[in-house]
Structure formats: C-alpha cells, structure tokens
Structure 1
C-alpha cells in the first residue's frame, strides 16, 4: 500500500499561522517590546536635549533634523534581535518542527519577518509620538509624517531580512547578535545625528556613500521637502530613488540567500 505524501498547506495559510505563532511569542515576552521602545526613546531624548544644542544643522532646527533620522535608526535597532531569535529556533528544534510540517520554507521565514515588522511598527509609532511631543513638526504636514513612517517600515522590512540571514547562516545566538553590531558604525558614521559635511573628508567619503545616510536623507526630505533638506548634496527625489535601489538590492540578496540556506540547514 502506497502512502501519499501530505498535501502542502496553502502558502497564505502557512504564512498566517507562522506569523501568528511568532507574534504571540513576542506579546508573551513584553520585556522585548518595552526594551525596543525604551531604547529608541532614550536615544531620541539624549540627542534632543543633551547633544542637540551643540550640533549645527545649517539653519534647520536640530529636532527637525534629528527626528526623521532617528526614526530610521530606530528601525535598524528594532530588527537586530531577529537574527538571534532565528538562531535560537534553529538550536532548540523549533525550526526542525516547522520543517516537518507541509509548509513552504519561504512561508516560515516570511512569517518571522512579518511578526518582527509588527514589533518594529510598535516601536516606530511610540518613538514618533515622543518625537512630536518634544517638538518634531514635519515641514509638509501630516502627509510628511505618514511618508516618514511608511519609509521607516520599508527600512525595517529590508534589514530584518539581513539579520534573519545572519541567524540562519550562523545558527548561533551570540554570533548572530554580534553581527548585529555592524549597525553601530553604519548609524553613527552617517547623516542621522550630525550632517555628514561636518565630518573629516576621509570619513565623509564613507558617510556619504553608505546606505544609512541615503535612507536618512530620503526620510528627511519626505518630512520637510527640498527647501529644508539641510546640508544635502542632492535633491530629495534623488535620495528616495537611490534609497529604494539600496533597499531592493539588499532585500533581494538577503531574502534569496536566507531561504536558500534555510532549505539546506
């Protein structure tokens, strides 16, 4: 008697189930949510009130300069932990259990990404609310705020795949978290907190040509428009186009590599 293989669960159904599983795990660990929000808010308040008075931005009030960049940076920090979570799942047998089910490997990883995106969205909304409370006022109004929020979620989606790839590739929590620290030089040596033009020439060359500076400049333009895009070398449309190109390339490469490795591990 021939035993037929179980039918594969429809991709959307599998995706919903995996997303729900990871989202519930996050909700049941409120410290993860709280720490993600607190970290972003603390960065905002420190730079707003401690360093802001000493940083020149070419005529744009520092809080208006800082807030769009800080929101982008908060998304990068919000997704660092997903790599360690994926590695932990691979080490504790959760991934083996998922692989034993009749679901597509891509659904398992996309579900993890969407659950992480939910955490990033909570962090983003909380940080944006505090930013408005301490004086952030988009130059193009509410539409500018919505544009920045949407842009930041794209950043979280893109770099979430980068850290998922780190978790799948290393299969070790500490190693995956260590790789996450690459975010530090990318964020601090960028135009997020200070104008890149204020840096020494040898450092500015790196700052101007790495993705975080471009993503931050695009967010700043979405918030304020070209006339208030402080110390920028190009128009806002340029930064949006280049930023989308960066994100598309990073997301495609990371997602394809992560799914491919996941199938083999």
Structure 2
C-alpha cells in the first residue's frame, strides 16, 4: 500500500507538471462548457418554453454534469498519448506499482476538474442560477459530480490504453460531446419519442444530472412522469452508475496497463 501511495503521488505530480507545461487540452475542456452555457442559456433559452421553470436554472446543473463526462475524453487522450509515444513502456520498465500509473492520472484529472468547476459555477451564478438546497445537499452534489468525473476518467483511461493510435483516441474522444445531447442535460426527455426517451433516461448522464438538480434544490425544473428507474431514483441511480463504472473499468485499466 505504501508503494502504491508513493508511486501514485509521483505519477500525480508528473501529470500536474504535464498540464502546467501543456495546458491546451485542460484549458479547452474547461472553457468550452462556459461557452456552451452562454450559448444555450441566451440563444436556445429564449426558444425553449419550460412552464414554471427558469431554463438557465435547468441548464447549469446539466452543463456541470456534461463537463464531468468530459473526463472520458481527457482520460482517453492522455492514456493514448503515453501509450503510443513510448512513455508507458518506459514506466513499465521501472520499479513502479502497476496500479499507480493509471491511478495517478485519474487523481490528477480529479484535481484539475475540481479547480475548473469553479469558473463554470461562477458563470452559472452570474446568469441567475441559484443553489436552493441546503449546504450538505450542495456539498453532496459537488461530491457526486467529482465521483462521476472519476468514473468517466477511468472509462477514458481504459479506452485510451486499448486504442490503436492517438488519432483514433482523439476521434473517439470527440464523440463524448454527443452523450449529453442524448440525455436530460439540456432539454427534458418528456418530449422525446418513446424509444429515444428510454435511451436518454438510461444514459448515466441523465441520472447524475437529475440527482444534481435535486441536491441543488432545482428539482422543480425536471419533474417528469413515468421516468425510468435511474431518473425516478436519481441519487441512487447516479451512485450506482458511477460506482459500477469505476468497479468495471479501473481494474480492467490496470490489467491493460500491466500487459506487456
């Protein structure tokens, strides 16, 4: 355990230094959500009629969850970059814990995403969104966002280690932007066709988004009848999705990394 902690801390420091010297990807993943928030809030918001609810109050939690889902993209790209540039092979040749390398990457992403969440929250507050829940509920919402970010990062690390090239990982990572569109992050699912609504409500992003809205006290903005189980029980659904993804992908990513 001490070796894992020591090596994991060293890898964490490596990734933080990497972000410091090459900030383009984290900068893009943190600034684009603010751009989308302004675009959806002020352009689409005027065209969407949501009786009894402020669309911006509906949108901000969804954008926070969509940003957390981007952990899949950053995890995939960084793991693929290390794999195809020989960094992974050099680390395998060193006396470093096999679990420490992907663990350090996921922790570094968690740190940067926690810091990057602040500007998005401030932008939402400036647009009129408010946290109407209690302080413990709000802390629970932010904790759930970080847990989901961690889960999506592990999914990305696994896919990045299994990718055939950096270009393939980059193209697949770009598809992550489509996932929030097939969810309730931006629009309610009640108006979707039946089959599409089912897909959207079983999308993990929908459960996490609904849970975050509920914990922030914005629950009145999303209530829909006959929702699928993860959306009808959002906090439990969000926790189960996040923990299941970590339980499946983290061990698989470690095994994939250790494979010569």
Give the structure-2-normalised TM-score: 0.91
The answer for the alignment partner of 2:239 in structure 1 is: 244
Is the alpha carbon distance of 1:163 and 1:78 closer, same or farther for their aligned partners in structure 2, counting shifts above 3 Å? closer
Equivalents in 1 of 2:254, 2:220: separation in Å?
43
Q: Structure 2: how far apart are the matches of 1:235 and 1:115?
A: 29
Greater mean alpha carbon deviation, residues 233-242 or residues 68-77: 233-242
The offset of 1:179, in angstroms, is 2.3
Which has the higher mean CA deviation after the structures are superposed, 236-245 or 138-147? 138-147
Question: Residues 224 and 177 from structure 1, CA distance in 2 versus in 1: closer, same or farther, beyond 3 angstroms?
Answer: same
Measure, in 2, the Cα distance between the counterparts of 1:9 and 1:206: 43
Q: Distance in 1 between matches of 2:203 and 2:231?
A: 16
Instruction: Please state whether the residue corresponding to 2:120 is helix, strand or coil.
Output: helix
Distance 1:86 1:183, change over 3 A: same
- How many positions carry a matched residue from both structures? 258
Which segments of 5 or more consecutive residues in structure 2 lack a partner in the other structure? none
**Does 1:254 pair with 2:249?**
yes
CA deviation after TM superposition for structure 1 residue 237, in Å: 7.9
Against the structure 1 CA distance between its residues 133 and 145, is the aligned structure 2 distance closer, same or farther, given a 3 Å change threshold?
farther
Superposed CA offset, 1:213-245 (max 9, x none): 111111111111655543364798811101111
Change (3 A) 1:223 1:193: same
Name the SS of the counterpart of 2:101 in structure 1: helix
Aligned to 1:52: 45
Give me the CA root mean square deviation. 2.2
**What does the per-residue CA deviation read over 1:40-82, in whole Å, with 9 as the maximum and x for residues that have no partner?**
1001101110001222334221111111111000111244122
Find 1:216's aligned residue among 209, 218, 232: 209
1:63 to 37, 56, 60: 56
Query: CA 1:225/1:9 → structure 2, altered by over 3 Å: closer, same or farther?
Result: closer
Match of 2:176 among 173, 183, 197: 183
Aligned 8 A contact 1:214 1:242 in 2: yes
TM superposition outliers: structure 1 runs of 4+ over 3 Å: 141-145, 225-230, 232-237
Partner residue, 1:167: 160
Shift of 1:208: 1.7
TM-score, length of structure 1 as denominator length: 0.89
SS of 2:250 mapped into structure 1: helix
Report 1:40-189 matches (<5 A): 40-189=33-182
For residues 7-18 of structure 1, the aligned pairs below 5 Å read 10-18=3-11
Unmatched tracts of structure 1, length 5 or more: 1-7
- C-alpha deviation, 1:94, in angstroms: 1.2
